[in-house]
């Protein structure tokens, strides 16, 4: 498990995963990455829990082996 804040912003998630923040917003909108919306209906302000991010990363991890 990774140390750090318990709740992360979209920007922090994007930085950790080395992706653009638009990709993080897509994952949230697709419900692939759970997030808490602390904003309004006009301006979202998402927070992602460390536990949810760790689970997201574990779920998307590849094993590196291929069946050929």
For the chain (length 68 residues), average pLDDT per consecutive 10?
80 98 97 95 93 96 67
Report yes or no on 2 lying in a domain.
no
Return the pLDDT at 65.
Answer: 60
Distance set, CA 9 to CA 21, 47, 61, 64, 65 (Å)? 10, 5, 22, 30, 33
Question: Residue 53 burial (CB < 10 Å; 0-12/13-18/19+)?
Answer: buried
Predicted local distance difference test score (pLDDT) of residue 48: 98
* Domain-embedded: residue 64: no
Q: Is 65 inside any structural domain?
A: no
Instruction: Look at residue 52 and tell me if it is in a domain.
Output: yes
The whole-number pLDDT of residue 67 equals 54
* 33: Cβ contacts below 8 Å, ≥ 6 apart: 13, 24, 27, 48, 52, 53, 56
Q: What domain count does the chain have? A: 1
CATH code: domain of residue 47: 1.10.1660.10
Give the pLDDT of residue 40.
87
pLDDT at 5: 77
pTM of the model: 0.82
Q: Is residue 66 part of a domain?
A: no
For residue 63, tell me if it sits in a domain: no
Contact between 9 and 54 under an 8 Å Cβ cutoff? The reply is no
Query: Is 32 domain-assigned?
Result: yes
């Amino acid at each position: 498990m990774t140390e750090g804040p318990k709740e992360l912003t979209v920007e922090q998630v994007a930085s950790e995963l080395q992706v653009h923040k638009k990709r993080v917003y897509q994952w949230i909108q697709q419900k692939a990455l759970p997030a808490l919306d602390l904003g309004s209906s006009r301006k979202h302000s998402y927070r992602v829990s460390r536990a949810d991010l760790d689970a997201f990363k574990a779920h998307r991890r590849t094993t590196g082996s291929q069946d050929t």
